[in-house]
Structure 1
Amino acid sequence: MDSDVSQNISSTIGVSGLMSIVVSLFCIGLSWWALQNLKLDLFIRHPKGAQGKLLQLLLAVVLGHFVAKFLLDYIGWSNMIRYMF
Structure 2
Amino acid sequence: MMVGEVGQQAVVHIFVTLFVLVLVWWSLQSFKFELFVRDPASPQGRVLYVLVVVALTYAVSQFLLDYVNWSLMLQYLF
TM-score of the two chains, using structure 2 as the length reference: 0.89
Question: Tell me, which stretches of 5 or more residues in structure 2 are unaligned?
Answer: none
Matched residue pairs, number? 78
Larger radius of gyration: 1
Q: Could you tell me which residue of structure 2 aligns to residue 30 of structure 1?
A: 23
Matched, 1:80 2:73: yes
Note the alpha carbon deviations across 1:24-63, whole angstroms, 9 max, x for none: 1111111111111111111112212332222111111100
RMSD of the alignment, in Å? 1.4
Query: Quick one: distance in 1 between partners of 2:3 and 2:14?
Result: 17
Question: Tell me, which stretches of 5 or more residues in structure 1 are unaligned?
Answer: 1-7
Displacement of 1:66 in angstroms is 0.4
Query: Quick one: distance in 2 between partners of 1:34 and 1:41?
Result: 15
Query: Quick one: distance in 2 between partners of 1:66 and 1:41?
Result: 23
Query: Quick one: distance in 2 between partners of 1:70 and 1:41?
Result: 28
Matched, 1:51 2:69: no
Question: Pick from 7, 19, 41: which aligns with 2:34?
Answer: 41
Query: Quick one: distance in 1 between partners of 2:50 and 2:76?
Result: 40
Query: Quick one: distance in 2 between partners of 1:81 and 1:72?
Result: 15
Q: Write the mapping of 1:58-73 to structure 2, written as runs, cut at 5 A.
A: 58-73=51-66
